[in-house]
Amino acid sequence: MNMTDSTITDSTIIDGCDTVVKLWRTQCLARGNRVAHREKDLGIWQSHSWQDYYQRARGIGVALLSLGLQRGQVASILSEDNKEWLYCDLGICGAGGISNGIYTTDSAEQLAYLINDSESVFLFVENDEQLDKYLTIRDRVPSLKKVIVFERKGLRDFNDPMVMFLDELYQLGDTSDADDIFSAAIELSQPDDVRMLIYTSGTTGAPKGAMITHRNVMFQLHALQDMLDVTPQDEQLCFLPLCHILERLISVEIPIHKGSTVNFAESPETVFDNLREVSPHTFTAVPRLWEKMYSSLSNRRSDATAFGRWAFDRAVAAGHAFKATDTPSLLTRLQFHIWNLLVLRNVRDMIGMANIRRATTGAAPISPDLIRWFQAIGVPLYEGYGMTESSGVISLNTHQRQQIGTVGHAIPGTDIKISDAGEICIRGGNVFAGYWRKPEKTAEDIRDGWLHTGDTGRLVDGMLVITGRIKDIIITAGGKNITPAEIESRLKFSQYISDAVVIGDKRKYLTCLIMIDQENVEKFAQDNQVAFSDFTSLCRTDDVIALIDSVIRETNQAFAQVEQIKYFRLIDVLLTAEDEELTATMKLKRSLVEKKHNDLIDSMYQD
């Protein structure tokens, strides 16, 4: 059994505060008119201060208390990322409640389940579209006391006794003794109070609400303060759903501690434009975004002149040579700096990375070659590892200590061990308090103080290597154990493949379902005069099938014969975050994909 050791502390005190909400109040009052958030209004970035942050959240918190919110009760937020999301989050928390984020892509049925499971007493919704979901299931959610809508657009004449608007809530909380009421509620907060509920994606059953306590978050903030070098001058971009533990930690908790400015992306579709506008100093994203960024630059290279392609390739090669060793020669350093001046800094500017000091990736596996490529062009990309039940981060590569192909070393105060079965287990202040009102599920995952992650891996000189998920391990008909994650990660390094699911459990050989990258494959088809009318017809053309076949053959060369893919099929339906096969962070849900595309899979095993 492999294991890392560290010191575990019972509680964490930051600036004299033992809970997040106490720290938040202290920092808001100290920072005053400094900019906390930026958000676009009619195409113009508008700034909002820490004072605004506190006063708006205070108004919400005091109003909720007047409407009957009790300590430990849940209020849910159904909205895209925006400043109001944070105002509600901290207002709920300050009043002693528990905030719970709900994905805007969730259906009305899913909304009903989450409200009932969490027994939410208040629901915040962004607009008329999200309000419609509530109205569809209103008779099935008896715990709700009130629904609060952010935007009046499309609802000017709407009137319902169960529904009020956010500006009305602000007015309700604007009392002469509001600060005394809110401050008193904040002082009652304790480290073991639940800071937030984060519902799991439910890929193996109904979603479960993970209870993340103030103690958990304060532990993360203290452990990460040296590993993630965030400063008050830093600009960040918030674009992943705030319902996800990663974005919540990066865009809410850490800025409270460090004072960085959070810029909200206009929408998931405008992330790349907003990146170029903000040019953040630190940036955290899931592998899918890094893959899209790489694909975009690959397309630009293809469209460049012969000289432009030559210069780009030489610049990237110089970057690879510079990063290949900790002690590059004088000539290697000189060549890199020349190519950086001539080419690479312009490349970084094109993708909004002109000011980047640290970039991180997590929430799903990423190809090591992709990390090397970004580092070669001057984007210091580091991979980390975590999960909802670890309150965010478990391990992380850093500038000081990095090994590409691993997910880094344990954050301070966290123990990692590999069980005899190869499962990664952790212990520390980041282990969550359990699943909301599901003690039997909690007991399955936390045993003898150790969180059993469900991931398999190994420790190499203290650095953690993830090999896959236990439930995803393929045992072939010949008895060979195969973890598909590495194969899938290599496939996704291709600019033509968006996602992949390797199949083969209890079967004679491996096959694969492929989701092509629409933008890049369409460009390939146009460049090669391949006729198609829609996404389905694109997937069925001989040229596209041959293109993906060449990627499969090239990938197979990196693996033993038993690990090679024999046949593949293309999923000819374009999937988005609204589809049940995808999580909000754009990961395919393996079990649902296999079930829904069972006929495709069977067609590959008919010989």
Residue 226 binned pLDDT confidence (cut-offs 50, 70, 90): confident
Residue 595 binned pLDDT confidence (cut-offs 50, 70, 90): confident
Q: Is-contact 110 124, C-beta < 8 A?
A: no
pLDDT at residue 10 in the model: 66
Residue 8 binned pLDDT confidence (cut-offs 50, 70, 90): very low
* Cα→Cα distances 582→41, 534, 576, Å: 30, 21, 7
Angle at the Cα of 23 from the Cα atoms of 20 and 214, rounded to 5 degrees: 15
The percent of residues in the chain predicted with pLDDT above 70, rounded, is 95
Closest-CA residue to 239 (of 99, 352, 130, 134):
352
Spatial separation of the C-alpha atoms in residues 339 and 334, rounded to whole Å: 9
Half-sphere exposure for 401 (CA within 13 Å, toward CB): 15
Spatial separation of the C-alpha atoms in residues 93 and 57, rounded to whole Å: 9
pLDDT at residue 145 in the model: 98
Residue 506 binned pLDDT confidence (cut-offs 50, 70, 90): confident
The answer, yes or no, to whether residue 543 has pLDDT greater than 70, is: yes
The answer, yes or no, to whether residue 474 has pLDDT greater than 90, is: no
- With H, G, I as helix, E, B as strand and everything else as coil, classify residue 526: helix
**For range 203-227, the mean pLDDT:** 91
**Mean residue pLDDT across the chain:** 93
pLDDT at residue 203 in the model: 52
- Read off the pTM: 0.87
Residue 580 binned pLDDT confidence (cut-offs 50, 70, 90): low
**For range 200-225, the mean pLDDT:** 88
pLDDT at residue 6 in the model: 39
* Cα→Cα distances 44→39, 80, 266, 267, Å: 8, 19, 11, 14
CA pseudo-torsion sign 239, 241, 243, 247: negative
- The alpha carbon of 460 is separated from its chain's Cα centroid by a whole number of angstroms, namely 26
- With H, G, I as helix, E, B as strand and everything else as coil, classify residue 341: helix
pLDDT at residue 578 in the model: 64
Q: Where are the beta strands (DSSP E) in 319-473?
A: 358-361, 381-387, 392-396, 409-410, 414-418, 423-428, 434-435, 446-447, 450-460, 463-469
The answer, yes or no, to whether residue 48 has pLDDT greater than 70, is: yes
pLDDT at residue 372 in the model: 96
Q: Specify the DSSP element, H or E, that contains 306.
A: helix 306-323
The answer, yes or no, to whether residue 202 has pLDDT greater than 90, is: no
Contacts of 327 (CB under 8 A, 6+ apart): none
The answer, yes or no, to whether residue 68 has pLDDT greater than 50, is: yes
Spatial separation of the C-alpha atoms in residues 228 and 249, rounded to whole Å: 12
Residue 597 binned pLDDT confidence (cut-offs 50, 70, 90): confident
The answer, yes or no, to whether residue 504 has pLDDT greater than 70, is: yes
CA gyration radius for the chain? 25
pLDDT at residue 5 in the model: 45
Q: Specify the DSSP element, H or E, that contains 170.
A: helix 166-173
Closest-CA residue to 482 (of 494, 467, 501, 493):
467
Q: Find where tokens 């590409």 sit.
A: 404
Tokens of 146: 């009130």
Contacts of 439 (CB under 8 A, 6+ apart): none
Q: What is the DSSP letter of 11?
A: -
Spatial separation of the C-alpha atoms in residues 145 and 569, rounded to whole Å: 49
Domains belonging to the chain, first-starting first, are 20-189+230-277 (3.40.50.12780), 473-603 (3.30.300.30)
Half-sphere exposure for 66 (CA within 13 Å, toward CB): 17
Q: Find where tokens 């079965």 sit.
A: 421
The answer, yes or no, to whether residue 445 has pLDDT greater than 90, is: yes
* Strand partners of residue 574: none
pLDDT at residue 486 in the model: 84
Q: Is-contact 321 335, C-beta < 8 A?
A: yes
Residue 573 binned pLDDT confidence (cut-offs 50, 70, 90): confident
**DSSP assignment of 553-602, as one string?**
HHHHTTS-GGGSEEEEEE--S---TTSTTB-TTS-B-HHHHHHHTHHHHH
Q: How many CB atoms lie within 10 A of CB 542?
A: 8
Note the pLDDT tens digit of each residue in 383-392.
999 999 999 9
Q: Which is more confident, 327 or 581?
A: 327
pLDDT at residue 87 in the model: 98
Residue 312 binned pLDDT confidence (cut-offs 50, 70, 90): very high
Residue 550 binned pLDDT confidence (cut-offs 50, 70, 90): very high
Note the pLDDT tens digit of each residue in 346-366.
999 999 999 999 999 998 888
The answer, yes or no, to whether residue 31 has pLDDT greater than 50, is: yes
- With H, G, I as helix, E, B as strand and everything else as coil, classify residue 386: strand
Tokens of 516: 């092509």
pLDDT at residue 475 in the model: 85
Q: Specify the DSSP element, H or E, that contains 83.
A: helix 83-94
Spatial separation of the C-alpha atoms in residues 300 and 316, rounded to whole Å: 14
Phi, psi of 510 (to 5 degrees): -90, 145
Residue 7 binned pLDDT confidence (cut-offs 50, 70, 90): very low
Spatial separation of the C-alpha atoms in residues 169 and 122, rounded to whole Å: 12
Q: Is-contact 495 520, C-beta < 8 A?
A: yes
The answer, yes or no, to whether residue 263 has pLDDT greater than 60, is: yes
pLDDT at residue 495 in the model: 87
Helices (H), 415-556: 439-445, 485-492, 518-527, 535-540, 542-556
Q: Which is more confident, 120 or 595?
A: 120
Closest-CA residue to 502 (of 606, 602, 601):
601
